[in-house]
Amino acid sequence: MNSIPSDFKPGRAPNSEAPEHDSAPGVLRGQVWLTVQTRQAQRLIRGRNGSTDKPAIIGLMGFADRLRVIWQAARSDDPYADWWLIKVHEALGRVRDLVSTEQAVLDAQLEQLTALEVAVAESLKPYRIALQFANPYAYRGAQMIAEYDTFVRMLLTAHHVGLLDSSSMEGLLNTCARKIRGAFAVPQGYHFLSVDRDSMKQGTAKASRARQLMGDVPEDVLNGAHQAPLVPRKIRYPEEAAKYIRLKPVDSPQKADSSASVNDDISST
C-alpha cells in the first residue's frame, strides 16, 4: 500500500505549485548617488570635526543622522519632532530660494556677453558618493548641495571671464555656504525625550523637561493642524523599543557644534 504524505490535504495534490500570491515581487531596492564637481560643495557633505582651535561644522551626513532620530520620533507622535520637521523644511526652502535667486542673477549676467559663448566650468574628476538615508529631508539636503555645486561652478566661471571680482565671488560663496551649514544645524536643537501628544496633555515630567529644553510647541502643531509636507506614518512604539531603533533620551541640553549666529543666518534669510 502506498503511504500518504503527512502534509497531504484533500483537494490539493502533493507537490503542487505554490499559490499565486507566493510568487509576488520581492522587496524593492534602489540606490542614490550624489555627484559634485567643486571642493566647496564636497566640504559640505562631510562637515568638519571639532578641535581646540576650530568648532565642528555639521555637514550633510551629520544632518541626516540627526534627522533620522527626529523622523522616528515623529513616527511615534512626538509633537516636538513634528515641529522640528517644519523647521527643517522651512530652513531648506529658504536656502534653496536664496541659491536659486543668486543663480538667476548670474544667468542674466552671462547672457549679456553677446560676443562670448561661455560654457560653465566642469570638473574632470567629479566626486561621487552613495547616499542611504532614512527620510526624505536628508535627500532634500543632498539636492541643496547639488544646487549649490552648480552655483559655485557658475560663480567660478563668471569670475574667470571677468564678470565678478574676487571679493564679490568670495562673498557669495561664503554667504551661501554659511546658510547651508545653518540649515544643517537646525536638527541640533531637538532633544529626544520619549514624549508624545498624550504625555503633553497629561503634563508629565518628560513633557515638562521637553518644554524646558525646547520651548512650547505651537498650538497648531500640537493639534496637528500644521505639519511639514513630508511626515512619517504614525506608529506608537513602546518606550522600551527606543534602544532597538537607536533612539536615546537625553537628560541635559546638548551643546550644538555651531554658533548661535549660524542659526540667526537662517532665520534672517
3 state SS of 10: coil
Q: Could you report the per-residue pLDDT of 104-121, keeping only the tens digit for each?
A: 999 998 888 878 888 899
Q: What is the pTM of this model?
A: 0.78
- The answer to whether residue 264 scores a pLDDT higher than 50 is no
What is the torsion angle, in degrees rounded to the nearest 10, for the CA atoms of residue 209, residue 214, residue 215 and residue 219? Answer: -100
The per-residue pLDDT for 254 is 40
The per-residue pLDDT for 136 is 96
Among candidate residues 193, 188, 187, 198, the one with its CA nearest the CA of residue 212: 193
The per-residue pLDDT for 137 is 97
Domain segments of the chain as ranges:
32-268
Judge contact between 158 and 169, C-beta under 8 A.
yes
Give the amino acid at 105: V
Q: Could you report the per-residue pLDDT of 236-246, keeping only the tens digit for each?
A: 655 555 555 44
Among candidate residues 89, 265, 256, 101, the one with its CA nearest the CA of residue 178: 265
The per-residue pLDDT for 223 is 94
Q: Could you report the per-residue pLDDT of 183-233, keeping only the tens digit for each?
A: 999 999 999 999 999 999 999 999 999 999 999 999 999 999 999 999 999
State how far the Cα of 176 lies from the Cα of 187, in Å rounded to an integer: 19
Rounded to 5 degrees, what are φ and ψ at 171? -60, -45
List Cβ neighbours of 54 (8 Å cut-off, separation of 6 or more): 48
Q: Could you report the per-residue pLDDT of 128-161, keeping only the tens digit for each?
A: 999 999 899 999 999 999 999 999 999 999 999 9
- Give exposure, 13-41, as e/b (b: 16+ Cβ within 10 Å): eeeeeeeeeeeeeeeeeeeeebebbbebb
DSSP 85: H
- The answer to whether residue 263 scores a pLDDT higher than 80 is no
**Which range, 4-13, 30-39, 242-251, is most confident?**
30-39
Regarding predicted confidence, which is higher, 69 or 240?
69
Judge contact between 36 and 146, C-beta under 8 A.
yes
- The continuous run of DSSP H or E covering 33 comes out as strand 32-36
Regarding predicted confidence, which is higher, 233 or 17?
233
The per-residue pLDDT for 116 is 84
